[in-house]
A and B are shown apart, each in its own frame.
Chain A
Amino acid sequence: MNGSDSTPRHRQGMDYGESEDVQKVHAAIQREKQEPRVGLEPLSLWLIGIYALAVFFGGAYLGRFSGSFSGDSLDPGTVPTKSHGPGPGGGGQQPQQELSPAERGKKVFMANCAVCHQASGLGSQSQGYPPLAGSEITNGGSRRAAMVVMKGLQGPITVKGQKFGSAVMQPWESLGDQKVADVLTYERQEWGNHGGPVTKEQIAALRKELASHPGSFVEADLQAVPADANLSGGEEGASPPKPGEQAKPGAPPQGSPPPATPGAQPPKP
């Protein structure tokens, strides 16, 4: 940056040294216009018009989308007109109401599962995501469905007579017992499905059972479990199997419990 320091100072018109002959200033400074000044033109009317428009739209926007300036309303759509009905509490009251397991499950589903299986539960044939709506796994006994959700599934699988296999389902056991139970309950009752509810305790029991299972299941693992086998461990499985449950609380209702997976359930009780 100080390369020009080394150049001889006597070159024409470039003396910047603070010596006596400093008046021999560089041409750039001689020819310079004077320092900027400021005029005093008044505001024009149309500019005031723009100000008014900006203030109007800014204010209108603030009023329309401010959610009544409530700390609870995350949704800007809670407009004053609505806010009288379900309104200002629309954001605030709902969380206080107890949600049903299926409603909670719907939230879990939308956040985690709907990306592949779609909100409609129909999955995507082209991308290899099997449907849940009307699926025999979802509708059958809760055990198969729970195994898939807990540990995931890979390899080819046939659902509703169609082959799937290009996609891999990841394990969801990290969601926790409650959420897995809720989402299973939701899936088994939504889209015209008719499976029974699943409880947190059942999932907890299944989790212990599957603890030593290394990776995802494949179709053969599922087929080793009877299609209608329900989960054990809860106070209640699906509605039909009550008699079996009375006989042996830990076992699925019909017939003997076929523990296809390592770490069988009967030893537990």
Chain B
Amino acid sequence: MNPTEIPLKSPGSVTDLSIGEVEQVERALIDASTRVPVLMFYASAIVWLLLGTVLAGFTSFKLHSPDLLSNVSFLTWGRIRPAHLNVMLYGWGSNVGMGTAIWLMARLCRTTLRHPLLLVTGGGFWNFGVLLGVCGILAGDSTGYHWLEFPSYVAVTLFLAYSLIASWAVLMFRFRRGDPIYITQWYLLAAFLWFPWMYLAAQTMLFIVPVQGVLQAAVNWWYANNLLFLWFGSLALGTAYYMIPKVIGRPVYSYHLAAIGFWTYAFFASWTGMQRLVDGPFPAWMITVSIAAMILCIIPVATVGLNHHMTMRGYFPLMRYSPTLRFTVFGAMSYTAFSVLGVIISLRSFARYLQFSEVSVAYSHLGLYAFFSMIMFGAMYYIVPRLVGREWRFASLIKIHFWASVYGIGLMTLMLLAGGMVQGLNMDNPTLSFTESTQSVLPYLRGRSISGILMTVAHFVFAYHFLLMLLGLGRTASVPTFLNPVNPEPGEMVAH
């Protein structure tokens, strides 16, 4: 598509309308009110992202070079892996997700964020909780429950901090003005209500009043899977539902599809989790119900995917220019890939071979990185310029970030999927010893480490770019930073 075909809007056509002017002022006020807390969430998210990336590097390298740093107790594999997972989940993912959600909520509810400093306090406590938890894990105080490794004394801090943050989002929804509730608000509000439900249920049933025996595994996997689906998934889908139509300036394809997608997701996703325990010591129906729910999750996935696709149709060439759109659309496409892979590996006939292999790791990264994190990167490329009053400084850095992330996660998924299949088949092969089946994965694990280096580059480049923005060193142009040069006609501005 010719760049000139990008939908352009002359400033005159908007400013002539007094309504448009009022809206602009209103947006500026709302953005200004969210500025400090959202930037705080973003900045701390990026710090955690860097730390998590370094921990991930150790985790990955130790798998094929086990002697690396093995004489330092707090850097042993059994501690840095849970530290990596929890830093990414609660440090990076939740911070960036909550920051984006607060900004979107304020915008869509058309209400300024009142008492932003209280929200900053909540965010501060959240980060303090994560810090305490990570130190606890590294000190050997992990609980040993997947994705809940933070020592239980941290859970209280996290929960209280979360309640403070979430109540701000919910209160904004309460004081919303005017318009019908937009799709993004459904997802965000639901996510803000689902997370405390899951977290409280898991904490109660695992630590406060522990359920007996194998049921702990059931609770644990229900929590882990739905943290991915209902918390991170909802935040990312809500963000994508805002960013895609916003950037291309076109309505979302269909309200009906959005409604079906949301409600079927809400209904089916919460049944999943047990599919990770195929052939475990549970009544068969418990596991089968989760697998069936995974199959039924094809409904929301196909619906949301189609809705985004039809919204984008004819506008895909814009991905050449807009960083936000490029990251968001990549994330939205990964959502489909992630979900399809999820259905396949949950089927009993596949899970039998693959559930204890690296394929599960590939699946988690596809969900949390290719889907969730990429959409969040896209949102940050959109939101941060509006908060600091500057444009991103270097298009080249955005490009490096994008391609290093895409090739990184692509290579990682490929390596872990292929390696996991080899591993799964070899573990099932009675003529091979367990050692041999493990050794057969080594080349793939080395490849995974290389992909990790790519992602590390991406994250440090992004962090540097973000730091420039924070320091007010962004560009002061009236045109956003496009990935490739656009040549609009004189006097016109390209919307972004």
A residues contacting B by CB (< 8 A) are 1-4, 6-7, 11-18, 22-23, 25-44, 47, 50-51, 53-55, 57-59, 61-62, 65-76, 78, 118, 127
Contacts and interface: CB of A to CB of B under 8 A. Distances in A.
B299 A41 contact: no
B341 interface: no
A3 B472 contact: yes
Given A30-B14, A73-B284, A76-B348, A16 B292 contact: no
A74 B107 CA distance: 51
A17 B29 CA distance: 8
A127 B25 CA distance: 77
Contacts of A16: 28, 31-32, 35, 389
B404 interface: no
Interface residues of B, number: 82
Contacts of B283: 67, 69-74
B241 A36 contact: yes
Contacts of A71: 283
B226 to A, nearest CB: 18
A67 to B, nearest CB: 3
A105 to B, nearest CB: 21
Contact of B253 (A13, A18, A39, A73): A39
9 contacts: A17-B32, A22-B25, A28-B496, A29-B31, A31-B494, A34-B249, A36-B184, A70-B283, A74-B283
Contacts of B476: 11-14
Interface stretch (B129-137, B162-170, B203-211, B254-262): B254-262
Contacts of A1: 36, 39-40, 42-43, 470
A32 B494 CA distance: 9
Contacts of A51: 299, 302
A163 to B, nearest CB: 20
Contacts of B31: 16, 29
Nearest to B252: A38
Interface of A is mostly: loop
Contacts of B252: 36-39
Contact of B242 (A7, A36, A55): A36
Interface string B474-490: 00111110000000000
B295 interface: yes
Top 10 A-B pairs ranked by shortest CB distance?
Answer: A14-B389, A67-B284, A33-B249, A27-B478, A41-B254, A36-B245, A4-B472, A76-B284, A58-B295, A25-B28
Interface in B333-375: 347-348
Given A25-B24, A65-B288, 5 more contacts: A4-B388, A4-B470, A27-B493, A29-B28, A43-B254
Given A1-B39, A35-B182, A61 B295 contact: yes
Interface in B17-31: 21, 23-25, 27-29, 31
B285 A69 contact: yes
A76 B296 contact: no
B360 to A, nearest CB: 20
A50 B28 contact: no
A60 to B, nearest CB: 9
B322 to A, nearest CB: 12
A4 to B, nearest CB: 4
Given A39-B252, A74-B281, A22 B29 contact: yes
Given A1-B39, A40-B256, A66 B478 contact: no
Contact of A38 (B43, B183, B385, B471): B183
Interface in B456-470: 470
Nearest to A54: B298
A32 B98 CA distance: 23
A34 B42 CA distance: 25
A74 B292 CA distance: 17
B24 A30 contact: yes
A18 B113 CA distance: 13
Contacts of B291: 61, 65
B478 A13 contact: yes
B386 interface: yes
Contacts of A28: 385-386, 391, 480, 496
Nearest to A17: B32
Contacts of A15: 389
Nearest to A31: B493
B462 to A, nearest CB: 16
A75 B284 contact: yes
B495 interface: yes
Contact of B295 (A27, A57, A118): A57
A43 B389 contact: no
Contacts of B258: 38
B263 interface: no
Interface in B306-328: 306, 310
B160 to A, nearest CB: 23
A153 B3 CA distance: 78
B426 interface: no
B11 A26 contact: no
A59 B268 CA distance: 13
Contacts of A29: 24, 27-28, 31, 386
A58 B296 contact: yes
Nearest to A42: B256
A51 B31 CA distance: 40
B156 interface: no
A25 B15 CA distance: 12
A127 B246 contact: no
Interface string B374-386: 0000000000011
A7 B27 contact: no
B276 to A, nearest CB: 15
A39 B254 contact: yes
A61 to B, nearest CB: 5
A242 B164 CA distance: 80
Contacts of A59: 292
A39 B259 CA distance: 12
Contacts of A47: 257, 302-303, 306
Interface in B237-286: 241-242, 245-249, 251-258, 260, 281-285
B236 interface: no
B427 interface: no
